[in-house]
Copies of this chain bind each other. A is one copy, B any other.
Amino acid sequence: MDNKKLVETITARDVDFAQWYTDLCLKAELMDYSDAKGFIIYRPYGYAIWENIQKYLDNRFKETGHENVYMPMVITESLFQKEKDHVDGFAPETAFMTTSSGDEGERLIIRPTSEVLFCQHYAKIVSSYRDLPKKYNQWCSVVRWEKTTRPFLRGKEFLWQEGHTIHQTEAEARTETLDMLSVYNQLGKDLLAIPFVTGRKTEKEKFAGAVETYAIEALMHDGKALQSGTSHYFGSGFAEAFDIKYQDKDNLVKHVFQTSWGVSTRLIGAVIMVHGDDEGLVLPPYVAPTQIVIIPIQSQKPEVMAASNELYNSLKEAGYRVKLDDSNRTPGWKFAEYEMKGVPVRIEVGPRDLANGVVTITTRHNRAKSLVSKDDVIKTMPNILKTMHDDLYEKALKHVTANTFTALTYDAFKTQIEQGGYIKMSISGEEAELIIKADVQATARVILDEPLVTDICPVTGKKATQTILFARAY
C-alpha cells in the first residue's frame, strides 16, 4: 500500500468530521468495536494514551494527599436509592448484575458512578474530626446504558477515575473542588496541549445530587464543545442521606462536606478532535505513546542500521518513548503510517545524510524537516518536543479565540451556532436554556465570571442574570 492510498482511507475532516473521527479511531488502531453492542476494545495504542494520562494524574493526586481505593462494581438497589436526586439522574441508564440461579438477593446495580459506595463506607469509618479529611480516588470502569456509541466519547462502558472526598468544613470542601478542577486544567496545559475553559455549570446542567458542578470544556476542530471533566461540590446533602457524621473538637456531632471529581477516556477523544488533521492523528509529545520513530533508509546498509540502533539506544536511555521500525516495509509506507498515527517526531537515518554526519528530523504537526547533527539529537530533543507542545497549545488556543463569539441578539446566536464555536450570551436563567436547547440543540457549557453583555435576555426578554458560554456539544 503506498502513501497516498493509506491516507485516502481516512475521510477528510471538512467532508464529514464524524466519519473522519471514527475512521481515525479504527485506522490508527486506537480501538475496535466489540461484538457486545456499545462496548469497545481499547487497543494498545489507545490504551497507552490513557496510561500516560493516568500516570500524570495519579502523581498529582498523590502529591496532593489522595489515596487510591477500589470499591465493588455493584451497588445494592436500596443503597443506590438513598439520595433522591442522584437516583433520578442515573436511573434510566442503569444496568444490573444477575445470575442464572437468581441467588444474588437484592437487585445489584452495576456502578454508573460510585458516590453512594463511598458515602456508605465513609459513614462506617469516620467518627471523629481526627479521621478527616478523607481523600480517596479510584481508577475503574463504569457502565451507563447509553443508546448511542461513539468511540471514547459515548458508550455503555468507559474507563475513568473518580475522586471522592469528605471534609470538616464547607470552605475546605469548596477549596478541594476547585483544586481538582485546577489539576484537570493543568493536565490540559502540561500534557494534552488543550486549552480548557473552566467554570461552573448552570443548575440545569449540574450533576445529579451536587450543589455545584464545575467543568473543563474543550472546543473541538469542528466547533463543537466536549465536556472533558467535572468537579462537584456536594455540600452535606449526601452526608445527611448517608449519615456521614463526626464528633468535632467542640464535641458536637456534625455532618461532613463532600466533593467528587472525575475525568474519563473521553480525554482521548478530545486529543484526537483538537489536534488531528486530514493525514491522521497529531499527538502532543508528552502524551504520545511513541514520541519518536526512527526509520532507517536503505536498512540493508550496515552503517545505517548501526547508526539507527545507536540513536535508538541513546534516546531510550535518555527516557524517551522511542521506536525503531526496521521492518521490511518501504520508507514511504512507514512515513504515511506514523504520520497517520500522529507520532510527534520522525528521524530518518539515510546513507547520504550519514555521510554528512546528520539525520533528518520531521515534526508531525507542521511537517517541518531539519537536518540535525547525529551527535546533537539527544541535546536538541527536549527543545523539539517543548516547541511542538507549545505550538499545538497555541494553535488550539487560537482556534478557541477565533471561534468564540458574543451574541447580543437571539437571531445572531442562532445564525452563529450553525457555524459552531463558543457563543457568549447573557440570559435570564433555565427558561432560556430550555428554549435554546429545543431550538438549536445548544447547551450551557459554563457560567462565565464576566460582566453581562446585555441587560435583557435576548431569548426570554426578561432581565439577564448571568453570562453563559454556549455551544453544541458532544
Residue numbers of A with Cβ under 8 A of B are 32, 34-37, 39-44, 47-48, 50-51, 67-76, 79, 94-101, 103-106, 108, 110, 117, 120-121, 124-125, 130, 136, 140-141, 143, 145, 157, 159, 327
Whether B76 lies near A35 (C-beta < 8 A) is yes
Count of identical protomers in the assembly: 2
Chain B residue nearest in CB terms to A139: B139
CB of A167 to closest CB in B, whole Å: 17
Bound Cα distance A71, B35 (Å)? 11
CB neighbours of A42 from chain B (8 A): 69-71
Q: Residue A44 contacts which of B100, B110, B136 (CB distance < 8 angstroms)?
A: B136
Can you list 28 A-B contacts with CB-CB less than 8 angstroms, sorted by A residue number? A34-B117, A35-B79, A36-B108, A39-B72, A40-B72, A41-B117, A42-B70, A44-B67, A44-B68, A47-B69, A47-B70, A48-B68, A50-B70, A51-B68, A70-B159, A72-B157, A73-B157, A94-B100, A95-B97, A95-B99, A97-B97, A97-B143, A98-B98, A99-B145, A101-B145, A103-B145, A130-B327, A140-B141
A50 vs B105: C-alpha distance when bound (angstroms) = 30
Residues of B within 8 A of A76 (CB): 35-36
**11 further contact pairs, Cβ within 8 A, besides A34-B71, A34-B117, A94-B99:** A41-B72, A41-B121, A42-B70, A47-B67, A50-B70, A72-B157, A95-B97, A95-B99, A96-B99, A98-B98, A99-B145
Contact A32 B121 (CB under 8 A): yes
> In this complex, what residue of B is CB-closest to A44?
B67
State how many angstroms separate the Cβ of A337 from the closest Cβ of chain B: 13
- For A130, the closest partner residue in chain B by CB is B327
Nearest CB of chain B from residue A161's CB, rounded to whole Å: 13
Judging by beta carbons under 8 Å apart, are A44 and B69 in contact?
yes
Q: Smallest CB–CB gap between A17 and chain B, Å?
A: 26
Q: Which of A75, A95, A101, A157 lies at the interface centre, i.e. has the most chain B CB atoms within 10 A of its CB?
A: A95
User: How far, in whole Å, are A33 and B94 apart by their CA atoms in the complex?
Assistant: 23
Known contacts A69-B41, A157-B73; is-contact A96 B94 (Cβ 8 Å): no
* Chain B contacts for A73, CB-based, 8 A: 39, 73, 141, 143, 157
